[in-house]
Amino acid sequence: MTKTINKMLKEDDELKYLVQITVYVRRLESTLNHLIKSNEKVLKVLRYLKERKIHPELITTSMLHQIMTDVKRTSENLDFAIPTEHLRIEEIIKISEIDAIYQDGRTIDVIHVPLVDREPYQIYRLHPVAVPQNVENQTTEIVFVKPSHKYIAINSNQERYVKFDVEPTIKCTKTHYALICPILGPFESTPTSKDCEVAMLLNPNTEILKTCDVRYGTSAKTQLKYLENDQSWLYSAVKPEQMRISCTNQRDTKIKLEKAAIIRLSPTCVGRTTDSMIFGQETKSSRTTYLYKPEIDLKIHDMYPILNEKDQNPGHDAP
């Protein structure tokens, strides 16, 4: 009897050892898996750095907010390039550059985030418009103001402006909330400005018009320019002219073009004059809403199997 009891006690001890060893092994397995995933993440970050790219997991949201707070505290006239409501790592990646420095066995990432003027600027595209003067012997005289630059940007309080020729869509970084542009030219003061374009924009009058670069020419053709910003057409009719508008499933209509104005066509319409034809801009949008739902579920027991052992063997947890 005693021998049998001793044997049972020995087998029970062996079972305890087996359970404890199994628990330790599973804990080690979980730790190793976590270590492998962490190393894989580090390798991904390093691969991105090698290509001078920012990995999305390199900066946390809390770090971004701390950086923004530091910028606002230390800069009087400059601000973080991204508004608080749009502050995400994806937005930072669009506008930033990164350098990597290896020092004392560590890799230091230096992220260059541009700062912007605290006041937003409004960009204007300058279009010369021909203005008819008089008609003699079927010859039409026109004059127009030749702008010194293609674009002008004025800040919100209309105190400063900058003129430039480069295309903003190429030189600037486009986001869904604004264009983030580098310095495009010298900033000038509006109150002391003698620029025709600025004065005519803020306070148009005949005396200011005399300071402009007015050009003279002859033309009998209506000018048409497409305004991409609002999908319309700017026209300047040297002499009155009719345009026939043809739309799908509708009767043709006619409108009179005279002087200068803006015309907007529906997406299914076409406008025709004697010499030209213009179209309405059509923008198609999907009616389907796509839900991002990756094939992964947050199941803690699948991520950490050791918890299953604790639930099934509450009396055999390792110390």
Write the DSSP assignment of 204-224 as a string of letters.
--HHHHTTS-EEEEE--S-EE
Query: Can you tell me the distance from the alpha carbon of 233 to that of 255, in angstroms, rounded to the nearest whole number?
Result: 14
Rounded to whole angstroms, what are the CA distances from 238 to 149, 185, 200? 24, 35, 22
Give the model's pLDDT for residue 103. Answer: 72
List, in sequence order, every residue forming a beta bridge with 262; answer none if it has no partner. 234
Contact call for residues 195 and 163 (beta carbons, < 8 A) = yes
134-152 pLDDT tens trace:
655 565 678 888 999 999 9
Query: Can you tell me the distance from the alpha carbon of 127 to that of 227, in angstroms, rounded to the nearest whole number?
Result: 10
Tell me, rounded to whole angstroms, the distance of Cα 48 from its chain centroid.
21
Contact call for residues 96 and 113 (beta carbons, < 8 A) = yes
What distance, in Å, lies between the first and last C-alpha atoms of the chain? 32
Size of the chain, expressed as the number of residues it contains = 319
Give the model's pLDDT for residue 301. Answer: 56
pLDDT at 206 over 60: yes
pLDDT at 245 over 90: yes
pLDDT band, very low/low/confident/very high, at 319 (cuts 50, 70, 90): very low
Determine the average pLDDT of the residues in 12-16.
Answer: 53
Determine the average pLDDT of the residues in 115-126.
Answer: 87
Give the model's pLDDT for residue 205. Answer: 82
For the ranges 2-11, 107-116, 131-140, the lowest mean pLDDT is seen at: 2-11
Q: Which of 209, 254, 233 is nearest to 127 (CA)?
A: 233
Averaged confidence pLDDT in the chain: 77
pLDDT at 298 over 60: no
Q: Which of 53, 182, 66, 165 is nearest to 109 (CA)?
A: 53
174-189 pLDDT tens trace:
877 788 888 888 999 9
Contact call for residues 237 and 259 (beta carbons, < 8 A) = yes
The fraction of the chain above a pLDDT of 70, given in percent, is: 75
Give the model's pLDDT for residue 9. Answer: 44
Tokens coding 135? 């008609």
Structure pTM?
0.63
pLDDT band, very low/low/confident/very high, at 316 (cuts 50, 70, 90): very low
Tokens coding 274? 């004697």
26-74 pLDDT tens trace:
666 777 777 777 767 777 777 777 767 777 777 777 888 888 888 888 8
Give the model's pLDDT for residue 254. Answer: 92
Determine the average pLDDT of the residues in 176-203.
Answer: 85
246-269 pLDDT tens trace:
998 889 999 999 888 889 898 889
> Please, what's the b/e burial string for 221-258 (b: 16 or more CB within 10 A of its CB; e: otherwise)?
bbbbeeeeeeebbbbbbbeebebebebeeeeeeeeebb
Task: With H, G, I as helix, E, B as strand and everything else as coil, classify residue 159.
Answer: coil
Give the model's pLDDT for residue 24. Answer: 62
Give the model's pLDDT for residue 153. Answer: 92
pLDDT at 317 over 50: no
